[in-house]
Amino acid sequence: MVSISTRPSSLQPAGGASGEEPARRRRRLGRISVDFLPDTWRGALHGVLRQAIRAERTVHPNATAVTLTERGHAVFPGRPYAIFVVFNLQPRIPSYVRRHIEALAAHRINTVVVSNNRRLPGSEVARLLPHCYAYLARFNLGYDFGAYRDGLVWLMTSEGAADSAVLFMNDSVLGPFGDYGKLLERVAGEERALLFGLTDSLEHRYHLQTYWFAISGAGLRNPRVRRYWLRMPYSRNKQDAIARRELRLTNDLTRAGLGVEIFFDYTRLQKAAIAYFDDLMARAAGRVGELDTGLAAPFEDQIMVRARIYQPILRMLVSGTNLNPSFFLWEPLIARMGFPFLKREVLMQAQGRTPFWGAGDRLIAEKGLPPDIIHDCLQTTLLTHAVQPRFD
């Protein structure tokens, strides 16, 4: 059996005394390197190694799927940590991801970047290190929640981080914009045992959406919460990750003793969205008979086409239909409530199915997100997730 070391990996500085970039280390699991094998053989061997990792965890609960660790330079003692999960099959980190990581460093957050792609070039890793606390590469076991779990276990066992809040986030959002720092400080200063979320959803069952959530320092000192993460199994597929991890996280952690606080809760958002869409419909009614200029027109000249698109969404809101707030209600979230992100799925579906191009470009630009960031995100996302969209 391939042995997975359960001891904390010794992290070395990214550069030597001369500041030169170090030679790229080969990704290894124990003493076995598989990067030199053909793709078919490597895929088969990865399956065997995944089973080995699962078996190792039955003996050593602290074992993870992490195969490479690098020390970053953005270290802020006594400040919260963030576990930032990235998955990108392209040989680079997209600019919108770097922007978010740099924003976290600017707010003095110790960011642990966990990559579910072990083949990211060393030059790209080196670009991240000045802005993060550490970089971990791992086998893509358990999807985002497997990476959340491994990043937190690494923090608890290697760094002894038990007294600070930890934020969990992935690369499925563009931003931040607006007053992101105020939100981060709210999490950092919380003394109660709380689970924080940006948005919540009533789809399937009540849950906070897991593209961004946080646990306060007091919450992580709860032994039941620590056991929950330590014993979390890797999901077999995306459906399992959604059903057993995302939809049950809120219930599992509240039963463990945590309270819940949602920054942009669905009840307030529903009222704000209805008012926002009502105003849009009223303005559109006053312009009946005018030339419909379409989505290529400036933001304020798109009232007619936007009204047609949002009218069924307004009807669903009024009738009580539960909607995905970060997708269907992204415009009132940002325009009326100061939401700091745009979900990547909005971009993915923007080509003819949601009112984004033109309207969204203008709205997001007003919030300070450069258009080239949007286009880079779309290009990278289409190449990596062209068929299978990513969930919360």
pLDDT band for position 264 (cuts 50, 70, 90): very high
2 domain residue, yes or no:
no
Last residue of a domain, one of 243, 263, 283: 263
Residue-range definition of the domain harbouring residue 191: 39-263
CA dist., res. 100 & res. 241, Å (int): 25
Is the domain of 241 the same as that of 326?
A: no
For 242-253, the pLDDT digits (tens) are 888 999 999 999
Is the domain of 54 the same as that of 154?
A: yes
78 domain residue, yes or no:
yes
33 domain residue, yes or no:
no
Average pLDDT over residues 224-233: 93
227 domain residue, yes or no:
yes
For 14-32, the pLDDT digits (tens) are 343 344 444 444 444 433 4
- Cα Rg, the chain, nearest whole Å: 22
Determine what percent of the chain is predicted with pLDDT higher than 90: 47
Q: What's the number of domains the chain is made of?
A: 2
Is the domain of 300 the same as that of 237?
A: no
5 domain residue, yes or no:
no
Q: Is the pLDDT of residue 4 over 80?
A: no
Is the domain of 213 the same as that of 301?
A: no
116 domain residue, yes or no:
yes
Is the domain of 276 the same as that of 194?
A: no
For 155-179, the pLDDT digits (tens) are 998 877 768 999 999 999 988 988 8
Higher per-residue confidence, 142 vs 57: 142
352 domain residue, yes or no:
yes
Is the domain of 67 the same as that of 83?
A: yes
Q: What is the CATH number of the domain that holds 164?
A: 3.90.550
Last residue of a domain, one of 231, 263, 295: 263
Q: Is the pLDDT of residue 315 over 50?
A: yes
The DSSP bridge partners found for residue 71 are 134
Last residue of a domain, one of 263, 296, 312: 263
